[in-house]
Amino acid sequence: VDDRELLQDVMAIIGKDQCLDDCAVLPYGDDYLVATTDMLHETTDFPPGMTNWQAGWMSAAVTISDIASMGAIPAYLLIAVGLDRWERLREIMQGAKDCCDRYGTAIVGGDIDRHGELTVVTTGLGRVEKDRIVRRCGSRVGDAICITGTTGQAQAALEGFHLHDTALFEPQPRVREGRVLGAAGATSMMDISDGIALSLYDLLTANDCGYSIRTVLLPLPGEVPEAAAREMALFGGGDYELIFTCPKNRLPVSGVEYHVIGDVIADHEVLADGRPLEKRGYQHRWE
Amino acid sequence: VDDRELLQDVMAIIGKDQCLDDCAVLPYGDDYLVATTDMLHETTDFPPGMTNWQAGWMSAAVTISDIASMGAIPAYLLIAVGLDRWERLREIMQGAKDCCDRYGTAIVGGDIDRHGELTVVTTGLGRVEKDRIVRRCGSRVGDAICITGTTGQAQAALEGFHLHDTALFEPQPRVREGRVLGAAGATSMMDISDGIALSLYDLLTANDCGYSIRTVLLPLPGEVPEAAAREMALFGGGDYELIFTCPKNRLPVSGVEYHVIGDVIADHEVLADGRPLEKRGYQHRWE
């Protein structure tokens, strides 16, 4: 069983609409409040060699990335820390604080717990104008499929290409890019936390159309052999770039570094180079 | 080292004001938005014999209780579940959903994770009018100290008095009571999750005055010998009643079951029957 299968159970209980986007979307005066929560823990999320400061940074970054992916401005963060050793807390909090400071976010609350395994849960709140929000739903046939930055870097670092260690250990959420893309008319968007392939399948779940990419268009992590680099970009996790769709007459979007990697198509399927793309990537699994 | 000592480190990094109340208090149009997060996990928070449904109920209830303690109306809940066995998810989500339904709260998002130990983190958002919010800070010398309901029941259940199992396994957050007390002029309030003694010391941290209670006034859990019952009420955890202070000329407050247990005093100390009260209760500790 994997996490996307379990999500079906959750949808049956709390409703499908609550499960489609990177953030919940709530009324907030004339704007929307967006809210999201992420659980990270040592064995599956904090790679060997990561410092406590980086664990704190990453915990804040992944949640700020979810807010960025809605075209929203991050505002507030709550952080619950389950600590195996109390000595780790100060550096973890400082890392989270430094990441929040970088992105204009205030840490407003939290919880401290004793835990057998370091576990950090961050909850983020952000704000977005109603005409600038971008959801997973909204792709239109003929739109270009685009990604910010270069994916596959985090996976490359995990596989020993240390040139990319910073991408893995200190992800930079694309807040400014998300804001620009929302204003520029992006029709759908999410962050690529689990690889391009799973992100395309997540978009497929939220839309009636389909997605066709050409792998030759993928920007690839440097110093990695090409076939391996393509595998990392499609199926590796931990990148926190944005994937978005945009009408071609709205391109180019100035002020954002991005690559066009394919087209939104009418058929409800995900294709790479004309063939069905394997549905595989970073997932939690249970036996 | 205990959790309240670690909180000093956190205050130094993110600011003392962020750490004084049960919830963060954020601007929300003409009202306040309150936000809070709680981490629960199997070994320290879910007692033996608790069902998955009850674990879900309790996870939602503790966070709704924090919102109630501000005099606020709970509105939204996010839930991150770290699952050791995937089969547990459905009942946990149903328990959280049933608790949220009871208190008018919508589950709007979450995260699913694989974890070695069942870990549930709930984040709650609520709303409160500016003139009805009640914080930990605000006690005034001469106010009465009061508690809703009967404390010590959860601890009694843990120690084998099964009459009180429901209090332990299915805590009922005092949302209605918190709303009434905010309107009635309560000057300070918090929930009693870690026992009356630690709650009084938490109030002490947020105020310049002090607190003097008389143990003979404590409502005690039934069927427990009196000395043991008093110990449970003062130092046991898991009750989720409200402790509040209120000017005596505002008493009685109609529509709420409560007991007056003492007085707010000028000296900055916590007394029980005229002697300093031991600072002890349910706490997370690290060696």
Which residue in A39, A43, A97 is closest to B14 by CB distance? A97
Distance from CA of A19 to the nearest CA of B (A): 6
Which residue in B23, B93, B284 is closest to A14 by CB distance? B93
Taking only the tens place, the pLDDT of each residue in A171-193 is 999 999 999 999 999 999 999 99
Residue B281 has pLDDT above 80, yes or no: yes
Taking contacts as CB-CB distances below 8 angstroms, the residues of chain B near A70 are none
- Mean pLDDT (whole number) for B209-229: 96
Judge: A111–B37 Cβ closer than 8 Å, yes or no: yes
Sheet arrangement for strand B106-114: B24-28, B31-41, B119-129, B73-83, B106-114
Please report the number of interchain residue pairs, chain A to chain B, with beta-carbon separation below 8 angstroms: 178
Given a contact cutoff of 8 angstroms between Cβ atoms, the answer to whether A134 and A140 are in contact is no
Residue A217's contacts (CB-CB under 8 Å, 6 or more residues apart) are A259, A260, A261, A262
Judge: B285–A114 Cβ closer than 8 Å, yes or no: yes
Token pair, residue B284, equals 């997370």
- Distance between CA A151 and CA A232 in Å, rounded? 8
- Distance between CA B129 and CA B30 in Å, rounded? 7
What pLDDT was estimated at residue B169? 95
Taking only the tens place, the pLDDT of each residue in B141-176 is 999 999 999 999 999 999 999 999 999 999 999 999
Given a contact cutoff of 8 angstroms between Cβ atoms, the answer to whether A192 and A242 are in contact is yes
Taking only the tens place, the pLDDT of each residue in A234-268 is 999 999 999 999 999 999 999 999 999 999 999 99
SS3 category, A172: coil
| pLDDT tier for residue A283 given thresholds of 50, 70 and 90 | confident
In DSSP terms, which residues pair with B227 in a beta bridge? none
| pLDDT tier for residue B9 given thresholds of 50, 70 and 90 | confident
Residue A18 has pLDDT above 80, yes or no: no
What pLDDT was estimated at residue B6? 87
What pLDDT was estimated at residue B5? 86
Residue with tokens 């205050």: B11
CA distance between the termini of chain B: 7
- Distance between CA A255 and CA B181 in Å, rounded? 52
CA of A157: how far to CAs of A43, A44, A113, A216, A228, in Å? Answer: 17, 15, 31, 22, 12
| pLDDT tier for residue A73 given thresholds of 50, 70 and 90 | very high
Judge: A113–B1 Cβ closer than 8 Å, yes or no: no
Measured CA angle at B197 (ends B125, B262), to 5 deg: 100
pTM over the 0.90 mark: yes
Q: Which of B66, B76, B77 has its CA nearest to residue B25?
A: B66
Which residue in A19, A108, A119 is closest to B24 by CB distance? A108
Judge: B286–A82 Cβ closer than 8 Å, yes or no: no
Q: Virtual CA dihedral for A157, A163, A164, A165, nearest 10 degrees?
A: 70
For chain A, the average pLDDT equals 95
- Distance between CA A39 and CA B160 in Å, rounded? 34
Given a contact cutoff of 8 angstroms between Cβ atoms, the answer to whether B119 and B40 are in contact is yes
**Segments in A114-210 forming alpha helices (H):** 153-158, 165-169, 175-184, 196-206
Tell me the residue type at A7.
Answer: L
Judge: B115–A117 Cβ closer than 8 Å, yes or no: yes
CA of B235: how far to CAs of A46, A251, B248, in Å? Answer: 37, 64, 26
Give kind and range of the element (H or E) at residue B13. helix B3-14
Q: How many residues does chain B have?
A: 287
Given a contact cutoff of 8 angstroms between Cβ atoms, the answer to whether B70 and B135 are in contact is yes
Residue B287 has pLDDT above 80, yes or no: no
Given a contact cutoff of 8 angstroms between Cβ atoms, the answer to whether A149 and A273 are in contact is no
Which residue in A7, A81, A284 is closest to B113 by CB distance? A284
Judge: B112–A1 Cβ closer than 8 Å, yes or no: no
Among chain B residues, the shortest Cα distance to A97 is held by B14
Residue B4 has pLDDT above 90, yes or no: no
Q: What is the 3-state secondary structure (H, E, C) of B39-88?
A: EEEHHHHCCCCCCHHHHHHHHHHHHHHHHHCCCCEEEEEEEEEEECCHHH
Taking only the tens place, the pLDDT of each residue in B232-271 is 999 999 999 999 999 999 999 999 999 999 999 999 999 9
| pLDDT tier for residue A14 given thresholds of 50, 70 and 90 | confident
Residue B18 has pLDDT above 90, yes or no: no
- Distance between CA A15 and CA A237 in Å, rounded? 27
Judge: A24–B82 Cβ closer than 8 Å, yes or no: no
Given a contact cutoff of 8 angstroms between Cβ atoms, the answer to whether B80 and B63 are in contact is no
